Amino acid sequence: MAPAETRPGEGTLPLQGRRMVITGAARGLGRALALVAAAAGARVVLTARTLPALAAAAGAVEARSGRTPEAYACDLGEPGSVQAACRQILAADPVVDVLINNGAPWLPGALEALDDGQIAATIAAAVTGTVLITKGLLPGLRRSAAADVLSVVSTAALSGRAGDTASAPFAAAKHAQAGFSARLGAELRGAGIRFSAVYPPDFDDSDPLDAQWDEVRGAGRRLSNREVVAAILFAIGAPRVCAYPVIELENLSAP
């Protein structure tokens, strides 16, 4: 059996005790990040729209790490829901060390084939939701001695990228998310809050509880969310003397 691949970020970064809010934490990348970060000592705060999946993710985090995570309902497409979640998060603890803006529905397809409601929901969650939850948690981030805000964007926000299956509305939403991260990062440059954005391409879903999580992938395979998790942990675990405003991931299997 081949040895498990060494991945920068897992088990080596100063996550111990850091309070990390993750949006879209019930499934996929958000759930995977929560599982890995909690196992490395982070105090994870899970938010998601779907309550049964959120409860399942919280249970998985506790079973794997021995730590009971905070979990709050939060529909990023509904301002009232975002505001309520922010109030609950700050009431439980006034300090937030890390905010991961991950929650946004994936929307592929040709524009004319898409439902107007899907388009509006995607833009509301990825753009308005990201702006509002960052604004709502900014007081907690300001109280941290070493705050990080990281947005999971997409290579769909990079023009002319071959092999991307995202729709035009999804790309537009991710462009806006990227612009927000860059502008607010510049605005708060002297406030001790570091802003980063990770740009993954299309990637496969995998879970830290599944056997394939430790599978060694060669250059002919697509990335999985395992590699995206490693990039996120690398950015937020970097020494405070530096920042990684943009981390672009690339599938070596792409033409």
In a domain, 8, yes or no: no
In a domain, 4, yes or no: no
Structural domain including 70 reads: 19-248
In a domain, 182, yes or no: yes
- Give percent of the chain above pLDDT 70: 90
Report pLDDT for 157.
80
Report pLDDT for 13.
53
Report pLDDT for 162.
53
Low-confidence ranges of the chain (pLDDT < 50): 1-12
Angle of helix 79-92 relative to helix 130-142, nearest 10 degrees, comes to: 20
Q: Are 236 and 148 in contact (CB under 8 A)?
A: yes
Instruction: Give the domain CATH number at 119.
Output: 3.40.50.720
Tell me the C-alpha distance between 209 and 97, whole Å.
26
In a domain, 158, yes or no: yes
Q: What is the mean pLDDT of the chain?
A: 88
Query: 26 Cβ partners below 8 Å, 6+ apart?
Result: 46, 48, 49, 50, 53, 54, 56, 57
What are the DSSP E strand ranges found in 59-215? 70-73, 98-101, 147-152, 193-199
Q: Into how many domains does the chain fold?
A: 1
Query: 61 Cβ partners below 8 Å, 6+ apart?
Result: 34, 35, 38, 44, 46, 67, 69
Q: What is the pLDDT of residues 165-217, one digit of tens each?
A: 788 888 899 999 999 999 999 999 889 999 999 999 888 888 888 877 877 77
Q: What is the pLDDT of residues 56-66, one digit of tens each?
A: 999 999 999 99
In a domain, 254, yes or no: no
Tell me the C-alpha distance between 214 and 1, whole Å.
11
In a domain, 150, yes or no: yes
In a domain, 98, yes or no: yes
What does pTM read for this prediction?
A: 0.90
- Pick the closest to residue 228 from 194, 255, 196, 183 (CA basis): 196
In a domain, 5, yes or no: no
Residues written for the chain: 255
Q: Are 155 and 201 in contact (CB under 8 A)?
A: yes
